[in-house]
Amino acid sequence: MNYIASSGPLFKDGKKRIDYILVYRKTNIQYDKRNTFEKNLRAEGLMLEKEPAIASPDIMFIKIHIPWDTLCKYAERLNIRMPFRKKCYYTDGRSKSMGRMQTYFRRIKNWMAQNPMVLDKSAFPDLEESDCYTGPFSRARIHHFIINNKDTFFSNATRSRIVYHMLERTKYENGISKVGIRKLINNGSYIAAFPPHEGAYKSSQPIKTHGPQNNRHLLYERWARWGMWYKHQPLDLIRLYFGEKIGLYFAWLGWYTGMLIPAAIVGLCVFFYGLFTMNNSQVSQEICKATEVFMCPLCDKNCSLQRLNDSCIYAKVTYLFDNGGTVFFAIFMAIWATVFLEFWKRRRSILTYTWDLIEWEEEEETLRPQFEAKYYKMEIVNPITGKPEPHQPSSDKVTRLLVSVSGIFFMISLVITAVFGVVVYRLVVMEQFASFKWNFIKQYWQFATSAAAVCINFIIIMLLNLAYEKIAYLLTNLEYPRTESEWENSFALKMFLFQFVNLNSSIFYIAFFLGRFVGHPGKYNKLFDRWRLGECHPSGCLIDLCLQMGVIMFLKQIWNNFMELGYPLIQNWWSRHKIKRGIHDASIPQWENDWNLQPMNLHGLMDEYLEMVLQFGFTTIFVAAFPLAPLLALLNNIIEIRLDAYKFVTQWRRPLPARATDIGIWLGILEGIGILAVITNAFVIAITSDYIPRFVYEYKYGPCANHVEPSENCLKGYVNNSLSFFDLSELGMGKSGYCRYRDYRGPPWSSKPYEFTLQYWHILAARLAFIIVFEHLVFGIKSFIAYLIPDVPKGLHDRIRREKYLVQEMMYEAELEHLQQQRRKSGQPVHHEWP
């Protein structure tokens, strides 16, 4: 029989809850290790029950149940905090003077209750533990805790976490290193270990009339369905089912998505400002009317003179992203990144308080079994616990770090080599496209060259990503991190560095190097004395940068969404197809259905965070060149939240409900990206865009330079001023006259032909001055905002201190009450205070 309750599947007796599942193949010959391991698990107090699979006769399931006494023993050993008294909220003196504010917030709360985005709380179970004071569980003080039902006192997540702790520390052979379920999975003794889902996520009965069958069903109906895309997330239920670590991820993702809304609106306004004023742009008008201005050939052999007005469309498109709102938007996004991170810290502190994680880190962080097995001979006394524990010598740690850092630099150099290869490709095919048979490619050969290079670069990025994960995993294991959090942080940092350089190296090249060192007509710089270095389009390099960012961001998001949902859907469909073909009219138990789902990837939430952090980099680092990036990120994240929810609830086995107090190393990486974004946007505005040359011309060389009240457009004549002259007769091609090229050099008839003019040095000085002023201004604003916004709200800080005091008092009172009851039973006199 497939016994199942609302709390999850049960043993054959229909009473014992299944807390964990182990899977192995009967044909596997390592039965001695399994027998020893299972014997030791029973000795530790676990109960095991075996059952063969229905669909595959070679598969055997081991169902694990942890009894009450064993639960209590390990809950005390792991210092798990459990509820023991209902919270009694207090008011202080300040609240009397806050009547108007409370009335205002009450009105907002009443409106929020009618907001269609808010979840209907009546559909969710009453999570009582969030309204109780908690303390470290103790068997000696078990009478302090609120135990209405032993089967539900410890949640499914806590039970699974305790069982996994035991599985990781149980021996399967003699020897200090022969320990842990992960090693048994690696050597093939077992093929899987996972906590079971609580039941099916769908029901034939509507949830509105019959209610949810289990928490998984409730999560699907109220969170994972695509029809709930506009609703807030049920974070407390996510935390109850999947654990605090996954709950914090979805809380951070939801917060990030919500904060993208104002950034997307401002970016859209900047874009529409450029769209509505595009036809009034003086620069675009001059380029579109320049029918008699000929540009110098952009390649040596197959390129001909090009009329400047052929770049009319490119000039107008460039103006969409390079207009008067660009500087404002860059400053806005730098401030936005700071506000987002500072308010997330406040949100995180509220969640850690609500989920009772304030003191968890010091209490429960344990050593990795691999670290213990490697350094068990070298012990030192832990200064916190006062107990001896394995220790990694400093010399060994430094040596392993040096090897790891060398591997990181090698992979980064490999990425730079790949980018160099794409650059060489652009130079080689540039002339081939200029003489192509198809008129469209021949006419727009620069666009075709850039588009082909972007696609090839994207393919290289995806191929290199396949190797990065394995190398990062190898280097991280080589370091032997002390705890799981240290392992995750080290692995995440390596993966971020690899993929960040992989994704952004080509963008950095286009933004800051393309067209900067080409020389001038008649004296071009050449790569290997053969290929002429690439130049920007006559309308500037910004159009190439926008194309590179837009294509990579769009294709990367499509690929990630397919790999996250499409690939598991196909695999799960194939598994169900094989099962239906192999059996007929048989009821598949829940654990076997879970076995046929895809396991959560080996690195947990690292891939999810990495994808979003890289997107955050795209959204902030080069946002001055692509103001639509926040809008694309917002649309993607609305889909991403439901896609991840659907994947966790329906397509993946239930992951281990791990605990965490924050998002780990990702917060530091996000802060680093925020700092880098200020610097790169300053350089993009100063160097890549034409903002500074236009500014210098407007106030120094244009028609308004000597007029207090200009009567005409101050940029009139800017295009002609920004183009230098070259004598075609010097090319030796039998042509006469002059062509123009983008630079500030002296004409052929000057005393110093083709030398930089004074205007060039003025523009260079203005660019350097803008970078310094922009960075100092934005960094000053960011620091001031970070100072104004405390990480922990003042009211929450006071409540935490108050509750610590009340918990101590309640513990003393409960112990006194228990002592008085014992004295009454024994007939001894009762004292109403401590002796």
Look-up of token digits 């009317």: 289
For residue 369, what are the CA distances in angstroms to 30, 168, 195, 560, 659? 21, 7, 20, 33, 18
**Start-to-end C-alpha separation, the chain:** 58
DSSP assignment string, 484-536: HHHHHHHHHHHHHHHHHHHHHHHHHHHHHTTTTS-EETTEE-EETTTEEPP--
DSSP assignment string, 664-730: TTHHHHHHHHHHHHHHHHHHIIIIISSHHHHHHIIIIISTTTT-SS-SS-TTTTHHHHHEEEEEGGG
Quick check: 633 and 618 in contact, CB under 8 A?
yes
Q: What is the pLDDT of residue 583?
A: 58
Quick check: 38 and 61 in contact, CB under 8 A?
no
Q: What is the pLDDT of residue 654?
A: 92
Query: CB under 8 Å to 397, separation ≥6 — which residues?
Result: 479
Quick check: 329 and 266 in contact, CB under 8 A?
yes
Mapped onto helix, strand or coil, the DSSP state of residue 50 is strand
Q: Which helix (H) or strand (E) holds 233?
A: none
Is 263 domain-assigned?
no
Q: CA–CA separation, 15 vs 4, rounded Å?
A: 9
Amino acid of residue 181: I
How many domains does the chain contain in total? 1
Quick check: 732 and 300 in contact, CB under 8 A?
no
Query: CB under 8 Å to 794, separation ≥6 — which residues?
Result: none
Quick check: 441 and 448 in contact, CB under 8 A?
yes
Quick check: 226 and 113 in contact, CB under 8 A?
no
Give the 3-state secondary structure percentages of the chain, helix then strand then coil, rounded to 5: 60, 10, 30
Mapped onto helix, strand or coil, the DSSP state of residue 133 is strand
pLDDT, averaged per 10 consecutive residues of the chain (835 residues), comes to 58 88 89 90 92 87 93 88 67 44 56 57 57 78 80 87 90 76 86 91 80 87 86 89 92 93 92 84 84 80 77 81 82 90 91 81 62 77 72 85 89 84 76 62 65 78 80 87 82 88 82 77 76 70 75 75 68 64 65 87 80 89 85 90 90 87 88 91 85 88 72 80 86 78 88 88 93 91 88 80 75 72 70 50
Is 535 domain-assigned?
no
The DSSP code for 279 is G
What's the CA dihedral at 402, 404, 408, 409 to 10 degrees?
20
Q: CA–CA separation, 257 vs 216, rounded Å?
A: 24
Pick the closest to residue 638 from 754, 557, 527 (CA basis). 557
Structure tokens at 15: 């009473």
Quick check: 55 and 592 in contact, CB under 8 A?
yes
Is 177 domain-assigned?
yes
Q: What is the pLDDT of residue 96?
A: 42
Query: CB under 8 Å to 496, separation ≥6 — which residues?
Result: 610, 613, 614, 669
- Range 201-231 burial, b when 16+ CB lie within 10 A, else e: bebeeebeeeebbbbbbbbbbbbbbeebeeb
Q: CA–CA separation, 546 vs 688, rounded Å?
A: 11
Look-up of token digits 């690929």: 559
Residue 356, number of CB atoms within 10 A of its CB? 19
For residue 111, what are the CA distances in angstroms to 115, 235, 278, 528? 6, 21, 42, 69
Quick check: 606 and 495 in contact, CB under 8 A?
yes
Q: What is the pLDDT of residue 360?
A: 67
Q: Which contacts of 204-207 are long-range, i.e. CB under 8 A and separated by 24 or more positions?
A: 207/123
Look-up of token digits 């490697």: 374
| Host domain of residue 77 | 20-89+116-196
Structure tokens at 109: 């709360």
Structure tokens at 696: 């210098």
Q: What is the pLDDT of residue 61?
A: 94
Q: What is the pLDDT of residue 176?
A: 60
Quick check: 271 and 328 in contact, CB under 8 A?
no
Query: CB under 8 Å to 390, separation ≥6 — which residues?
Result: 367, 371, 372, 374, 375, 376, 378, 379
For residue 716, what are the CA distances in angstroms to 293, 319, 646, 701? 16, 16, 57, 10
Query: CB under 8 Å to 203, separation ≥6 — which residues?
Result: 210, 212, 213, 217
Task: Report the relative pairing of strands 388-390 and 519-520 from DSSP bridges.
Answer: unpaired
**Could you tell me which residues are beta bridge partners of residue 527?**
531
Quick check: 8 and 17 in contact, CB under 8 A?
yes
Is 167 domain-assigned?
yes
Q: What is the pLDDT of residue 98?
A: 42
Residue 599, number of CB atoms within 10 A of its CB? 14
Strand locations in 602-676 (E): none
Quick check: 806 and 133 in contact, CB under 8 A?
yes
For the chain, the C-alpha Rg in angstroms (whole number) is 33
The sign of the dihedral angle between the CA atoms of 746, 748, 750, 755 is: positive
Q: What is the pLDDT of residue 90?
A: 46
Structure tokens at 132: 């109780």
Look-up of token digits 């502190």: 349
The DSSP code for 97 is G
Is 178 domain-assigned?
yes
Q: In what order do the strands lie in the sheet with 294-295?
A: 306-307, 294-295, 738-742, 723-727
Look-up of token digits 């228990």: 818
Quick check: 347 and 255 in contact, CB under 8 A?
yes
For residue range 324-380, what is the model confidence (pLDDT) as tens digits?
Answer: 788 888 889 888 998 999 999 999 988 988 888 877 654 455 677 778 777 777 777
Is 759 domain-assigned?
no
For residue 173, what are the CA distances in angstroms to 30, 32, 39? 11, 9, 11
Amino acid of residue 3: Y
Quick check: 786 and 335 in contact, CB under 8 A?
no
Q: What is the pLDDT of residue 260?
A: 93
Q: CA–CA separation, 290 vs 283, rounded Å?
A: 11
Q: What is the pLDDT of residue 93?
A: 41
Helix axes 606-620, 484-512, angle to 10 degrees: 30
What would the 3-class secondary structure string for 328-389 be? HHHHHHHHHHHHHHHHHHHHHHHHHHHCCCCCHHHHHCCECHHHHHHCCCCEEECCCCCCEE
Q: What is the pLDDT of residue 121?
A: 62
Pick the closest to residue 64 from 175, 165, 138, 182 (CA basis). 165
Is 815 domain-assigned?
no
Is 171 domain-assigned?
yes
Q: What is the pLDDT of residue 441?
A: 62
Residue 170 sits at the vertex; the CA angle it makes with 164 and 176, to the nearest 5 degrees, is: 130
